[in-house]
Structure 1
């Protein structure tokens, strides 16, 4: 699996823009919260949505500037995996919080009301401002998330992919929030909470899958696919090639950040042999086996 150079790749700049847009959305949503359950949960979700881009920028900085040392002989190759775990926890927490708040509101049969606000001497229904805020909150996550996905796939960057999922959750929240606010305006007291509950199930599902993959990575599990808990195709292809090169050997694969490391045990390395992985990168030998 290739470790692409950071130079010439726009992911860091993209994450900085994501962070900036998310901050503006948080401020905008906070100004018009009112008593709407959807608005409150959307605001909380947007706030937790800061975690993935912040973790990505921290991991990117450490990967680019950290050097191997006596205390960190491998540098910070796995810092991306740690950031992936933190981001997965945040995504799961968002889904769980959305579902809890929605179910509590439905159970209590809360009849949320949307009042009016005086602007320049005119009374304006607060719902119009909420709708405008929700529409605004839809746009940045929709476009940024679509740009993040191909970058995440090119780099095999699960942290970046989790941020794309968070942006997906954000624009889904905005869409369902619009439906909830319109429902309140029509007198459907349950529309607000039902919309929030529908959002939460999708977000929670993405969060749990990301949490399972990130946990497996931290405990040296076999490399998982980018968007599921299945084993990755790259890992399977590499394993097959190593088995062909070393019949009878024991192949062990694990993931360190955006890289796959392969070890071949129970077989001596042939003299002057060079293995090439599926990307054409050269392998190196270490005591106890072959390590890519």
Structure 2
């Protein structure tokens, strides 16, 4: 029977994981350059400040994914007998909490600017001998902060779904939607240029609400995962079909009269128990074969316990 220490991803998924890590390293380097550029040009614009803060936050899931994959690669030991799979769930919660906290701060900051009727100024600078309105420079910086980010998000999304990795999925979704942040900030900057001082703070508030909404959703998902809810799909958050497939597989065995299953998510893999009511006496050979069939059915099953019982538990 396969031991939990023998668990590893299939070769094709190992390739996807290596590719995802490579993309994340590119993302980290790119986002650092974005943070520097945005900081240099944001001036007193509240919308630019909010967009800059969101870009700083964008580093969290990428770094968390890289750290988590390194820790997750460690083999189980006497201290962590179930392995390090749940490090992904912990990273997801940390990133979500950071997003939620920053969203609350950004809403307060942008709201106070509106309440105090602060009038941002976007002046001119001499660049290469030409007087240029800094609003145009800000818009170019915003395009730089969003277009490559969107491309990286689209590249990560299919790998996140294949690997069933919520840290990577959250990162991909956030980056794919970066155009909304850039568009809101551009509208705010143009509004200031047109004499509407409030446009900048309203744009910042729109960005802040978006960050807060994502933070609330992700914290809720992370907490329920850590509470061992039944595994759900990444996008629709519906019950993973694999659970019922495993139950059907067990019920198809000629020596099983009835069965019940339950699994929980540990990062990107599932762990759980299967209770079976046998028709006849169960020997170790049948159990060994049962374990092999379960483990061979899907790479997502990291650890399972099969227990013969007289009466099924109400899971």
TM-score relative to the length of structure 1: 0.86
User: What's the secondary structure of 1:274's corresponding residue?
Assistant: helix
Which residue in the other structure is 2:312 paired with?
none
1:280 equivalent in structure 2: 297
Structure 2: 5+ residue stretches without partners: 1-7, 310-315
Alignment of 1:158-169 (within 5 A): 158-169=166-177
Instruction: Write out aligned runs for 1:173-184 (5 A).
Output: 173-184=181-192
CA separation of 1:219/1:3 partners in 2, compared to 1, >3 Å: closer, same or farther? farther
The higher radius of gyration belongs to: 2
Question: Could you say if the C-alpha distance between residues 201 and 70 of structure 1 is closer, same or farther in structure 2, counting changes exceeding 3 Å?
Answer: same
What is residue 113 of structure 1 aligned with on the other side?
121
- Asked if the contact 2:273/2:306 (under 8 Å) is kept, the reply is no
2:65 pairs with 1:19: no
In structure 2, how many angstroms separate the alpha carbons of the residues matched to 1:194 and 1:244?
60
1:123 is matched with which residue?
A: 131
Are the counterparts in 2 of residues 209 and 229 from structure 1 also a CA contact under 8 Å? no
Contact 1:263-1:289 at 8 Å conserved across structures: no
1:44: which partner in 2?
53
Return 184-193 or 218-227, whichever deviates more. Answer: 218-227
Quick check: 174-183 or 197-206, which moved more? Answer: 197-206
Which residue number in structure 2 is paired with residue 80 of structure 1?
88
> In 2, distance between residues paired with 1:48 and 1:215?
20
Change (3 A) 1:228 1:101: farther
2-structure distance, mates of 1:135, 1:142:
10
Partners of 2:250 and 2:92 in 1: how far apart? 28
For 1:111 and 1:60, the matched residues in 2 are separated by 46
Alpha carbon RMSD of aligned pairs, Å?
2.9
**Where in structure 2 are the equivalents of 1:155-234 lying within 5 Å?**
155-234=163-242
Is 2:106 the counterpart of 1:98? Answer: yes
Count of residues in Structure 1 that have an aligned counterpart in Structure 2: 288
Deviation digits for residues 19-52 of structure 1 (CA, Å, limit 9, x no counterpart): 0110010010010111100111111111111110
Q: Which residue of 2 aligns with 1:8?
A: 15
Alpha carbons of structure 1 residues 281 and 108: separation in structure 2 relative to 1, 3 Å: same
Give yes or no for contact 1:252–1:263 (8 Å, CA) kept in 2.
Answer: yes
| 1:251 aligned counterpart, secondary structure | strand
- Give structure 1 stretches of 5+ with no counterpart: none
Structure 1 residue 122 displacement after superposition: 4.1
Provide the C-alpha distance between the structure 1 equivalents of 2:63 and 2:304, rounded to a whole number of angstroms: 36
Equivalents in 1 of 2:308, 2:104: separation in Å?
44
Alpha-carbon distance, 1:286 to partner: 4.1
Deviation at residue 250 of structure 1 after TM alignment: 4.2
1:50-85 deviation per Cα after TM superposition (whole angstroms, max 9, x unaligned): 110101001111222x12211121221211121122
TM-score, length basis structure 2? 0.80
Q: Over residues 225-246 of structure 1, what are the superposed CA-to-partner deviations in whole Å (9 max), with x where a residue is unaligned?
A: 2135443343454456556766
Question: 1:88/1:238 Cα in 2 relative to 1: closer, same or farther (>3 Å)?
Answer: farther
